[in-house]
Structure 1
Amino acid sequence: MSKSLISRRPVFRRGVSSSGQEKPAAAESPLRKLGWKPFFQQQLSLDELNDCVPVKVMAVHRSQIEVTGEAGDEVVLVHGPLFDDASERPTVGDWLLLERASRKPLRRLERSSLFKRMAPGARQAQLIAANVDNVLIVSSCNHDFNLSRVERYLALVKEAGCRACLVLTKADLDQNHDSYRTALKGHRDLPVVLVNALDAESVAPLREYCRSGETLALLGSSGVGKSTLLNSLAGAELAATGGIREDDSKGRHTTRHRALYAIPDGGLLLDSPGMRELRLADVQDGLAATFADISALAAKCRFADCAHESEPGCAVQAAIESDTLDERRLRNWRKLEREVRRNTRTLAESRADDKALGQMYRSVQSHARARKSGEE
């Protein structure tokens, strides 16, 4: 087992005793450092408070998951009812309740946020992470920068209700920073930070997103510098790093699986493999929030069923003609809306098929038990 995922060294804060002398304050609870909040505490029954202990999922592997809590790091085997349903099984960032004596996982607590995507080439959702507070959408100042992809990530983040910041890495390799700021003029409410991920001073403005007790996720494609950025924020080599191909700026995979890392100043950082394909589903609210300006313009169109193409009195087309709305943004909104509708319908059909199959299995088992009982 690797070394502890959270520091066990007490953290002292200075206080003042009744005699006027400074005294060390009590160490911060390990659970609080891991993100334990009243939202999770309130989900526990009195019996669970006595008989169970909460642990946080730090990494997920094929046959086991790594968790940590007040007792330190543990390994939980992936078997039993908690892991039967792929769409409900624990993912990185989840809180589990373990039976105090046996260390058996009993249940997963309700999530405060959840990131998921359509699994590549499948009709099922793939879980990315749970209980994330803040997200750094990481791109880079080279061929990788793609505003339509940034909007795709934004829809996912806004659906989860997390605070987002766009980080453009490799800023030291491209001095034409104004071109990126101009491209982002349609996202004035999105904080943008340009950094050299190898420079700790350069990434300092990002530390406000990883305070003690909060979980920060880094999302982006391969080779944009997520692992390098994670290491700079943590002040230690937590994740492996690699280079990019010079001809097309495409990245090499360095992170093999999603994992949470604790940093010395508090907070947890999520590093995840680069996602070349991020298919969206069930993010209608997030999509609406990402393209709220288009929705506001559409409300001003002369016709309620305006398709925003060549209809008279179209406020959306008028904004494009006046250069206050980028036509690319309208095209991307339409594309993502079609994708979300299609994938959401596919997921609903898949869930219905799974439910029907489960009912059939239970019916067959019930008949088999009844027949066996009759024979006895």
Structure 2
Amino acid sequence: LTKIDIAEKSELADRMAQIDKRFNDISIFLLSNKSMEGFPAIQNMIEYGKTYCFIGASGAGKSTLINNLVGEMVMLTKSLREKSHKGQHTTSHRELFILKDSGVLIDTPGMRELGVAESFKTLESTFEIIFTLSDSCKYSDCTHLIEPECAVLVALEKNEIDQSYYDNFHKMKGEQSQFELNKRGIKDKETIKKMKSDSKNKKSRR
């Protein structure tokens, strides 16, 4: 989590508690490229011979962190916007850096958003609690939205699962469904295109 110097300590504590509650198996590092707080922990994490890819939103501070790790200005950076405290997009290509007596860094262009692919296993592993509870739902095809005797809705009502966790589940499930529809649409277009091409070829042979 970058740019911690622009956040209040109480806000950071709340964010960390939320993240730890949902992703307690992921290592979280708090970092300020300005004060260098948290930098030694990231520096010590990088192992010799291993490659590390930097992925994140535009202006998150990836290039500045790489400059600090390399020890010189190897990537162009821009200052924060005064009103939003957000960085500006600078990296437009991938670039690789070999650290002396350490690992390899790859900087990537900033992303506006991350999409959900069609992997059902990814959704299941991310929302393991909901999938476990769904085994106790009355209906095997329960959507966990309005159905009676839905174990997920019962758990939500009892505050056994977090509202944001539940909302994110349905958001990602919707994105996954949209991805599958788009993919199917592309395949249908390709099939129609191939059929038209085959039809033209047959006519030309006559």
TM superposition score normalised by structure 1:
0.47
Displacement of 1:258: 2.4
Question: Secondary structure of the equivalent of 1:269?
Answer: strand
User: Alpha carbons of 1:360 and 1:206: their partners in 2 closer, same or farther (altered >3 Å)?
Assistant: farther
- Whole-Å separation in 1 of the counterparts to 2:199 and 2:50: 45
- Name the SS of the counterpart of 2:96 in structure 1: strand
The residue number in structure 1 matching 2:2 is 169
Q: 2:57 aligns with which of 221, 230, 235?
A: 221
Tell me, yes or no, if structure 1 residue 193 matches structure 2 residue 26: no
* Counterpart-to-counterpart distance in 1, 2:126 and 2:55: 17
In structure 2, the CA distance between the partners of 1:346 and 1:232, relative to structure 1 (3 Å rule), is: same
Instruction: Judging by fraction of residues, say which structure has more helix.
Output: 2
Say which structure is richer in strand: 1
Per-residue deviation, residues 115-136 of structure 1 (Å, max 9, x unmatched): xxxxxxxxxxxxxxxxxxxxxx
Structure 1 pair 305–364 and aligned structure 2 pair: CA distance change class (3 A): closer
Match of 1:179 in 2: 14
1:308 aligns with 2:176: no
Aligned to 1:320: 156
Q: In angstroms, what is the RMSD of aligned CA positions?
A: 3.0
Cα distance in 2, alignment partners of residues 317 and 308 from structure 1: 6
1:199/1:232 contact within 8 Å kept: no
Contact 2:5/2:34, CA 8 A, preserved across alignment: no
Q: Which runs of 5+ in 1 are unaligned?
A: 1-167, 372-376
- Give the TM-score taking structure 2 as reference length: 0.80
Q: Distance in 2 between matches of 1:280 and 1:214?
A: 27
**Partner SS for 1:251:** coil
Q: Is the 8 A contact 2:2 2:30 kept in 1?
A: yes
Q: 2:42 aligns with which of 181, 202, 206?
A: 206
- 1:182 deviates by 2.1
Q: Identical aligned pairs, as a percentage? A: 32
Partner secondary structure for residue 192 of structure 1: coil
Structure 2: 5+ residue stretches without partners: none
Describe how 1:1-376 pairs up with structure 2 within 5 A. 168-174=1-7, 175-176=9-10, 177-184=12-19, 185-198=21-34, 202-207=38-43, 210-354=46-190, 357=193
User: Whole-Å Cα distance in 1 between the matches of residues 102 and 202 of structure 2?
Assistant: 52
Q: CA deviation at 1:296?
A: 1.5
Distance (whole Å) between structure 1 residues aligned to residue 179 and residue 58 of structure 2: 24
d(CA) in 1 for partners of 2:44, 2:203: 59
Code of the residue aligned with 2:73 in structure 1: it is E
- 1:321 & 1:218 partners in 2: Cα distance? 39
Q: Summarize deviations over 1:285-326 as a string: whole Å, max 9, x none.
A: 222222122212222323323332344433222322332311
User: In the alignment, residue 175 of structure 2 is paired with which amino acid?
Assistant: E
In structure 1, distance between residues paired with 2:145 and 2:158: 15
Rounded Cα–Cα distance in structure 1 between residues aligned with 2:50 and 2:138: 46
